Amino acid sequence: MNINNHIHHGDGIHIYLADGIVPQLLLALPFVLALVMYILAAVVSSSRYKQWPLYRYAFWIFGILCAAATVVGPLANRAHIDFTAHMIGHLLLGMLAPLLLVLAAPMTLALRILNVNSARCLSRILKSCPVRILSDPIVASLLNVGGLWVLYTTDLYVMMQQNIILHVLVHIHVFFASYLFTVSMIYIDPTPHRTNFVYRAIVLVIALAGHGILSKYIYVHPPSNVPIAQAETGALLMYYGGDAIDLVLIFILCFQWFRATRPRASLSMSQSVNS
Amino acid sequence: MTTEKDHSNNAFRFAYSSRNLWSGFLFGLGLVAFFDETVFHQLLHWHHFYDKSTTDMGLISDGLFHAFSWFATIGGLFMFADLRRRNALWLTRWWGGVLLGAGAFQLYDGTIQHKLMRIHQIRYVKNVLIYDLTWNIIAIAMIVAGAILIVRTRHRQQQEEAISHEH
């Protein structure tokens, strides 16, 4: 009981510190910047080339809002004391936001509006060996799902609630690992290092299984100081919420296979069948 | 008495015969897993999300099968769309695959996952044996029905290919 009191006390101080107007503004700044830069870039691109599609603006705006909601505002504050709120945050920051942002095709937009030299530089980085390793489905899945296993099965979760720097670092990792995972599976932006469909499908299934197994593990072995009732709702949310977002990811992956394998020349088809 | 159109349609079907089977198999597996989740977990609340007696292997097996069946439902349907687009859909063979996939998953779930790995019981009542028997007999019936359809379509393909070689 004493320990619990102590921890709640610590959380109280922490919320008080992050609740001030200045820290909130500081935390919101990267999101505002990302929003403004994307919209400006899209407007510039539309004036030079073809109109930048409206749905991409929508994906970006919703993606940024989802990510921002987990760092600033009421949900973010509640996440310190309520594991269910934390899990809603995880679904938004670690699953929905990356998917929406990938669908907004930010790299395509960047390559369009940068001048030739910078664009070449960016595309050299995309083609480089480290990016190839990082964007391999297996590496990206390990960083993404493996990171979550470390977070929820060690003391990292408790430490994160008491240390603001660790807290920010974990959130940054969750977001970027998940973004990397999404770009390793579906190809919206220019992707120099492509892997074949079956490979991606197998790794995706294993990664999803890792996520589902972790949810059930949390259901019975919650991180220390998380009450069992909150752990159960949080775990159910992670399991079924994860399924809902994975459904979209699987659908896009299969749709890209469907488009890639479309029958091309009718001549070669009829030859192969008649021979 | 096959017309020209039927003949070409059969040729497409035969060329994609295994894709018909796989599409059905994946969709059947996914369908029965989806049915299990909706009816027994969510609507009837017979199955538990987590049973205290679950083994570690059960947790892993359940996680893998859950993820795989989710993928298989969607993948199987995209393969179905692909077969239609190629005019290569062979419904009898596809249904054979559906029954085989559904039965195979249900039998695995009903024997290894429920009984051996104890992920959860069908229903938490005294006479669970009746539920287990019903569950697994339905599974075996689906496997047998699927196998019959698959063997029969295979025979038909072999016969017609033999005839077309003679001509």
The residue extents of the domains of chain A are 2-260
Position A35 scores a pLDDT of 96
Mean of per-residue pLDDT scores for chain B? 86
How many domains are there within chain B? 1
A-side interface with B, Cβ within 8 Å? 201, 204-206, 208-210, 212-213, 216-217, 219-220, 236, 239, 243, 246-247, 250-251, 254-255, 257-258, 261-263, 269, 272-274
Position A15 scores a pLDDT of 46
Q: Which residue in A209, A236, A251 is closest to B64 by CB distance?
A: A209
Position A13 scores a pLDDT of 42
Position B141 scores a pLDDT of 93
Name which residue leads in pLDDT, A153 or A21.
A153
Q: Which residue in A213, A261, A273 is closest to B59 by CB distance?
A: A213
Position A16 scores a pLDDT of 45
Q: Which residue of B has its CA nearest to A207?
A: B67
Residue B47 has pLDDT above 70, yes or no: yes
Residue B165 domain flag = no
Residue A156 has pLDDT above 50, yes or no: yes
Residue A122 has pLDDT above 60, yes or no: yes
Q: What is the mean pLDDT of residues A192-210?
A: 94
pLDDT-derived band at B50 (thresholds 50, 70, 90) equals: confident
Distances (CA, A) of B123 to A225, B54, B116, B120: 33, 15, 16, 8
pLDDT-derived band at A3 (thresholds 50, 70, 90) equals: very low
Residue B135 domain flag = yes
Name which residue leads in pLDDT, A76 or B95.
B95
**In sequence order, which residues have a C-beta less than 8 Å from that of residue B21 and are 6 or more positions away?**
B93, B94, B96, B97, B150
pLDDT-derived band at A265 (thresholds 50, 70, 90) equals: low
Residue B89 domain flag = yes
C-alpha span between B31 and B33 (Å, rounded): 5
Most confident of A35-39, A269-273, B3-7: A35-39
Residue B115 has pLDDT above 70, yes or no: yes
* Global confidence as pTM: 0.86
Distances (CA, A) of B122 to A107, B33, B41: 49, 14, 10
**Touching check for B55 and chain A: CB below 8 Å?**
no
**A and B: number of Cβ contacts within 8 A:** 67
**In sequence order, which residues have a C-beta less than 8 Å from that of residue A59 and are 6 or more positions away?**
A100, A101, A103, A104
Residue B167 domain flag = no
Q: Is ipTM > 0.90 here?
A: no
For A23-61, the pLDDT digits (tens) are 788 888 999 999 999 999 999 999 999 999 999 999 999
Name which residue leads in pLDDT, A101 or A168.
A101
Residue B166 domain flag = no
Work out the minimum CA distance from B77 to partner chain A, whole angstroms.
9
Q: Which residue of B has its CA nearest to A216?
A: B50
